């Protein structure tokens, strides 16, 4: 099969990768459309020592399911954490934090920038027929945005700031807008501001920050600089929700965090079912984020383009399912 292959921090297009074989409780999935995110880009910069097929955002069609043939033909999206099911964390109901987990396209499990992938059936969610591929492909990042609401209660009177108006920040803005909170978003690029203005979300610049007035600050810049801005913006006893993944360490003045009694909340993956409901009920529309769709054989060019400043969503199309308007 055709795939993008990542090894020694180099990405290349290959045509001779063996089609994977699903285990008894798994499924072979033909990828219909895949999304490129900041974590994929950070892999190129050494964020994690991964080798294999990258990518974890997708919508696909089940072509083989040895244990349960009823899955065959269904359009699906899939959770990215492959849990063992037997460790203490799994037994306590937190399979996303499995002690021995593998992660789709990131850690010990080949990802979605390919014609086919395999996943356990427990990871799959059926996509309602009326949700088109170019919406369904956003399920995983939208679930990550929704996780903010799973981790902290946002009230209409809360002052909430999102730092970073890129791929994830835009989705987080749409999700948080539904709470009725007093929402502001730091946006650097004109396209980012245009999309948020269209949704009546107030945008500001970094020059407006630093007065410690926000109850909740979401850091979604993908840069260590974003945390410093978040720290300057959150009020005493406020919350900073960390969404960025990047290589390296951040120097933090923890004394100030202790004195101000600020809560730091790491936030990664989220629940798929609420994300699918948001899409099914047209409560969010991520399609304006799509800037380009590349065929799989041009995947290296897709990575190059997605890494440019201000670029939003880039999709990769392994097969002739989705034809962009």
pLDDT tens digit string along 183-208? Answer: 999 999 999 999 999 999 999 998 88
Report the SS3 class of residue 269.
coil
- Tell me the per-residue pLDDT of 72-129, one tens digit each, with 9 for 90 and over: 999 999 999 999 999 999 999 999 999 999 999 999 999 999 999 999 999 999 999 9
Mean pLDDT of 170-179: 97
- Tell me the per-residue pLDDT of 20-58, one tens digit each, with 9 for 90 and over: 999 889 999 999 999 999 889 988 887 778 999 999 999
- What average pLDDT does the chain have? 93
- The two structure tokens encoding residue 78: 């899939």
Task: Specify the pLDDT at position 224.
Answer: 78
Q: Evaluate whether 181 touches 238 at the Cβ level (below 8 Å).
A: no
Cβ-based neighbour number of residue 62 at 10 Å: 23
Domains and CATH numbers, the chain: 3-138+286-317 (3.90.180.10), 144-266 (3.40.50.720)
Above 60 in pLDDT, residue 322?
Answer: no
Give dist(CA 206, CA 192) in Å, integer.
Answer: 14
Cβ-based neighbour number of residue 30 at 10 Å: 18
- Tell me the per-residue pLDDT of 206-251, one tens digit each, with 9 for 90 and over: 888 878 899 999 999 978 788 889 999 999 999 999 998 766 677 7
- The two structure tokens encoding residue 297: 């054989």
Q: Evaluate whether 254 touches 279 at the Cβ level (below 8 Å).
A: no
Q: What is the DSSP string of 244-278?
A: ---SS-----HHHHHHHTPEEEE-----HHHHHHH
Task: Specify the pLDDT at position 67.
Answer: 94
């Amino acid at each position: 099969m055709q795939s993008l292959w990542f090894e020694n921090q180099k990405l290349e297009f290959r045509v001779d990768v063996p089609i994977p074989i699903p285990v008894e409780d798994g499924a072979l999935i033909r990828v219909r459309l895949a999304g490129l995110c900041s974590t994929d880009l950070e892999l190129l910069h050494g964020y994690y020592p991964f080798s294999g097929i990258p990518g974890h955002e997708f919508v696909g069609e089940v072509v083989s399911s040895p244990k349960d043939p009823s899955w065959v033909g269904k359009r699906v999206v899939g959770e990215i954490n492959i849990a063992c099911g037997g460790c203490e964390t799994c037994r306590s109901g937190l399979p996303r934090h499995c002690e021995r987990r593998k992660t789709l396209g990131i850690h010990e499990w080949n990802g979605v920038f390919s014609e086919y992938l395999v996943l356990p059936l427990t990871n799959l969610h059926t996509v309602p027929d009326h949700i088109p591929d170019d919406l369904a492909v956003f399920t995983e990042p939208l679930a990550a945005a929704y996780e903010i609401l799973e981790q902290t209660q946002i009230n209409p009177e809360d002052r909430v700031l999102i730092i970073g108006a890129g791929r994830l920040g835009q989705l987080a803005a749409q999700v948080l807008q539904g709470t009725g909170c007093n929402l502001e978003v730091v946006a650097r690029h004109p396209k980012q501001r245009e999309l948020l203005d269209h949704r009546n979300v107030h945008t500001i610049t970094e020059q407006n920050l630093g007065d410690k007035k926000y109850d909740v600050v979401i850091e979604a810049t993908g840069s260590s600089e974003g945390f410093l801005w978040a720290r300057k913006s959150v009020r005493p006893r406020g919350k900073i929700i960390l969404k960025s993944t990047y290589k390296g360490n951040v120097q933090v003045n923890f004394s100030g965090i202790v004195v101000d009694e600020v809560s730091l909340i790491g936030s990664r993956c989220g629940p798929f079912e609420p994300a699918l409901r948001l899409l099914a009920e047209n409560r969010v529309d991520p399609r304006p984020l799509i800037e380009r769709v590349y065929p799989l054989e041009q995947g290296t060019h897709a990575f190059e383009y997605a890494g440019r400043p201000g670029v939003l969503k880039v999709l990769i199309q392994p097969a002739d399912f989705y034809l962009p308007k």
